[in-house]
Structure 1
Amino acid sequence: MTSFKQSIIIVLILFYSANVFTQDSRLNLEVNYPIPIDDNFIGRSFKGFIDLGLKYHFSKVKPINLGVSINAGLLKNNKDDRIQPFDVNMTILQPRLFAEFSIKSLTKFHPSVGFGYSFISAKARNFDNFNTQINTSENVNGFNLNLGIALDVSEKLFTQFQYDFIKINLDKGVPKNKYNSNVNILKIGLGYRF
């Protein structure tokens, strides 16, 4: 089992345990559609598939609620792309700390800001001239800034819009430019408060 899958399972168990043993639950579950944007190596070659998120508020002192969150997203390459004419799946794991703000005059709106780290793993599947499958992978990581706004639909259900900026740590020999180091992703989704 890969470390990515192990991390997801551990986080799910921790969040579930926290929800079971607290009467005033502070847990949110989110399902988002990620949209890579901008002119960079991800924005040009990948389309969003799904992004799942968990948030836990460990301090609910208005007007600022503090917490921890983790998102796990999946992007897929465009097979029509001449640069990558084979299957590539990209997973993004994003643990972070966040602050959610309550505004008295706009009780249904909840802006938020989060700081954390992103772990990006790309796995490619291709075939050689003898129709033998060749699997390759590459991992990068970097600082993550998340800006979001949630709109309450009901007491438990909300819609949300998020923007993620990821600054990739580049290896030696990789040109230090926006195309290689800046990742921008919009997320549109639904959330549920337990």
Structure 2
Amino acid sequence: MKKSLLVMFLVMCTYCVSAQNKKWSVEANYPVNVSENDGDIELNGIIDLGIKYRFMDLGAVQLGAGLNTALLRNEDNFIYGGPGFENREFNYEAKQILVQPKLFAELAIPGLARLKPQIALGYTVAVDDYYYNDGGNVEADYSNTNGGLNLNLGISYDLSSRFFIQVQYDYLNVHKKGEETRNDQTYSYDFKEKIGLLKAGLGFRF
């Protein structure tokens, strides 16, 4: 009896793991900022982490929901000077966190089961933190949260039943509106920033 129960338990665990393999995946990507116009803030990708859940299997298409979070930043610090003024310290720090919920469709290619193209549509929340001081007359400091639509195109390749590699492209249209403090003066801004991110990484299905 005990052996039978143990066998039934193992069969159920195997079934559950097999079912989960079709639904969940996590990923870690390296994001590269390929924006044509990044305004006055140049940001470099650090890391992008994501999780996906596939809630509907339509045969050739799987529908799901996902969430990615990316970190981009840049900083610089140096001493400069020249004739007519003393050495000055230049400080520049910029950081951006992107939170990206989305709905996606993962396609199956007949005869190429390991390749899985994907298209997704979602919303991006962009949290910006920016500080600039030229050591002289200009100092700027602001932090703000904005958002906009996000279109994602990607393709993955299964290395095994669990591991896969992938390449994605994110197009973000972020509406930035807020205030910036520059030399103790507050200025308002209102514009749309188009951001392009190219991501390459590794994923795990479970």
Within 2, Cα distance between the matches of 1:169 and 1:34? 21
Per-residue deviation at 1:75? 0.4
Is the 8 Å Cα contact of residues 163 and 187 (structure 1) preserved in structure 2? yes
Residue from 99, 116, 132 that aligns with 2:122 = 116
Letter in 2 for 1:120: A
Matched, 1:161 2:167: yes
Is the 8 Å Cα contact of residues 31 and 52 (structure 1) preserved in structure 2? yes
Per-residue deviation at 1:44? 6.0
Aligned CA-pair RMSD = 2.8
- Per the alignment, residue 189 of structure 1 pairs with 201
Secondary structure of residue in 2 paired with 1:105: coil
Number of residue pairs matched?
Answer: 164
- Per the alignment, residue 48 of structure 2 pairs with 51
Within 1, Cα distance between the matches of 2:194 and 2:122? 15
Letter in 2 for 1:182: K
Is the 8 Å Cα contact of residues 53 and 64 (structure 2) preserved in structure 1? yes
Q: CA offsets per residue over residues 126-157 of structure 1, 9 Å max, x none?
A: 6898xxxx974121210000000001111100
Is the 8 Å Cα contact of residues 36 and 42 (structure 1) preserved in structure 2? no
Unaligned runs of 5+ in 1: 1-21
- TM-score (structure 2 length as normaliser): 0.71
- TM-score (structure 1 length as normaliser): 0.75
Secondary structure of residue in 1 paired with 2:76: coil
Within 1, Cα distance between the matches of 2:175 and 2:55? 30
Counterpart mapping for 1:103-182 below 5 A: 103-124=109-130, 136-171=142-177, 174=189, 180-182=192-194
Q: CA offsets per residue over residues 42-71 of structure 1, 9 Å max, x none?
A: 796011100000000001221000000000
Per-residue deviation at 1:170? 4.3
Letter in 1 for 2:152: N
Is the 8 Å Cα contact of residues 47 and 78 (structure 1) preserved in structure 2? no
User: Share of identical aligned residues, percent?
Assistant: 32
Residue from 66, 70, 80 that aligns with 1:69 = 66
Letter in 1 for 2:148: G
Are residues 105 and 43 of structure 1, via their aligned partners in 2, closer, same or farther at CA, if it must alter by over 3 Å?
farther
- Per the alignment, residue 97 of structure 1 pairs with 103
Rg bigger for which structure?
A: 2
Structure 1 stretch displaced more, 108-117 or 136-145: 136-145
Are residues 43 and 148 of structure 1, via their aligned partners in 2, closer, same or farther at CA, if it must alter by over 3 Å?
farther
